[in-house]
Amino acid sequence: MQNLTNRAAAVDRRPMNFAERLYLPAIGKGLGITIKHLFKKKVTVSFPEEKRAFSPVFRGLHILNRDEEGRERCTACGLCAVACPAEAITMEAAERKPGEEHLYREEKYAARYEINMLRCIFCGFCEEACPKQAIYLTETFAPSHYKRSGFIYGKDDLLIPEVPTKG
């Protein structure tokens, strides 16, 4: 039978000699590795004083974005909820009422938008699926909580605070 890959290695089946039966070479090899690691630089990061460098593709907490005029970008199309493999996003759509043009960008908006961070796998599919660039993942860790309800982020937790306009 032909190998599919070249990763196969021939196994040495000959009997062990006296030195190999004492396992001294194996013990010496293990001690050598241990001693080598004693003199290497430590990789521990002292967290509050030092900040760890993140990978450029790190995905952290979600943020709901606003447009240039401070209105919500989300139009409650539901593509982020459909794209989420963990089903962590739930939303309810509502119609914009007259006089709310300064709050919402389109006629339809997300009246309720929740992300369950305990279910979220931080894959970034919601960010890729959004046609309005309304949601993106930041480089911020999810903080710890004592109750499960603290990990369900609502719309007010996710929205970027509105910047007051001058004038």
Domains of the chain: 62-158 (3.30.70.3270)
> Over 80: is that where the pLDDT of 164 sits?
no
Looking up tokens 């005029």 gives 69
> Over 60: is that where the pLDDT of 165 sits?
no
49 is in an annotated binding site: no
Closest CA to 135 of 115, 150, 162, 164: 115
| Whole-number average pLDDT of the chain | 87
76 is in an annotated binding site: no
120 is in an annotated binding site: yes
99 is in an annotated binding site: no
> Which two structure tokens, joined as six digits, stand for 125?
């599919």
> Over 80: is that where the pLDDT of 162 sits?
no
Q: What is the dihedral of CA 79, 70, 136, 158, to 10 degrees?
A: -90
Residue 93: strand pairing partners: 110
123 is in an annotated binding site: yes
126 is in an annotated binding site: yes
Q: Are 101 and 139 in contact (CB under 8 A)?
A: no
77 is in an annotated binding site: yes
The pLDDT of residue 4 = 65
77-136: per-residue pLDDT in tens?
Answer: 999 999 999 999 999 999 988 888 888 888 898 999 999 999 999 999 999 999 999 999
36 is in an annotated binding site: no
> Over 70: is that where the pLDDT of 57 sits?
yes
The pLDDT of residue 146 = 92
